[in-house]
Amino acid sequence: MYKKIIRPLLFQLDPEKVHHLTTSALKTGFQLPLAKSLSRGVFQVTDKRLERKVFGLTFPNPVGLAAGFDKDARMIDEYAQLGFGFIEIGTLTPKAQTGNPKPRLFRLPQDGAIINRMGFNNEGVDQAVERLRSRKSNVIVGGNIGKNKVTPNEQALQDYLYCFDALYDVVDYFVVNVSSPNTPDLRALQEKEPLRDLLSNLQNRNQGKAKPKPLLLKIAPDLNLAQLDDIVEIAAQTQLSGVIGTNTTISREGLQTSGQRITEIGAGGLSGKPLTSASTQVIRYLRQQLPQEIRIVGVGGIMTPEDALEKLSAGADLVQLYTGFIYEGPGLIRQINERLLR
């Protein structure tokens, strides 16, 4: 029903407007009588065999919602009803920011892909904290944190520390995002010394808490092997709990969409099917090189249950959806979990 009726209608509209329209409809829909019990029957798969113990947390299933979908923590309870095992909010910054000029979100239907240059648009971390304090669901929530666009890289640490401290009591794990291509110079923080300094300071703050939280790093799929080796070294030195592979790519190789259309769209991170293989290769390499106690979350081009299985077989402990959720609908969550059980 989603792919044959709902998606064709939604894809006639502006992608960003559709996102706000569908989230509003979902929030309204779950206020109707019997909506929650209906969603349990349609979307959720509850089985102890799906549980994963990762980072010291028990995930009811390994399928999560990637950051970027619920930036401001508005839809935690609703997305939990769709069967996700965990939800990652953000990327959040200390101060609210509008992000890049619109249009900034583009579909590539021929490729099963999306290009976005949202630019960390969010209402600021403090607003998200207030919403998280009032949520009803006990679903595992990760806090994806970044820096404001106007903050120079030399002062980025203070932005990350502010977000960490603000979110500490209301999230279950943290993700340090230095890999988005849509904030100027952000990816420079993936270089060896800036990254080591950032993660060391964040981990020092974390270890100073009574109960330290899992701290993860989200990386780009465009890193070469030498850069990945640096990530491995730093992850071990700073005792990260995990690495998320991967963010969106700046590559445009192998697309079926016309070159003219790609030029018209311009800059941004590409996600979806064209990223499937690249992100899996990164996961496989990381699993071979990282200490076993550092776990991996696989994201990038999971469009089918088989794509999820491939990520898990390559070494991921958990997986996350974003573009696949848009193209395949919420039924994909159930399909992956049922495939895992089989």
- Convert the pLDDT of each residue in 148-203 to its tens digit: 999 999 999 999 999 999 999 999 999 999 999 999 899 999 999 999 999 999 99
pLDDT given at position 36: 86
pLDDT given at position 184: 87
pLDDT given at position 293: 98
CB 128 within 8 A of CB 105: no
pLDDT tens digit string along 193-242?
999 999 999 999 999 999 999 999 999 999 999 999 999 999 999 999 99
DSSP secondary-structure letter at 300? S
**Which residues make up each annotated binding site for substrate?**
71, 116-120, 177, 182, 247-248
DSSP secondary-structure letter at 241? S
**Which residues make up each annotated binding site for FMN?**
67-71, 91, 144, 177, 218, 246, 272, 301, 322-323
Where would I find the beta strands (DSSP E) of the chain?
52-54, 57-59, 63-65, 86-92, 105-108, 113-116, 140-145, 173-177, 215-219, 242-245, 269-272, 295-299, 318-321
The CATH number assigned to the domain with range 2-341 reads 3.20.20.70
Catalytic positions, please? 180
Amino acid at 247: N
Q: Residues of the chain whose pLDDT is less than 50?
A: none
Break the chain into its structural domains and give their ranges: 2-341
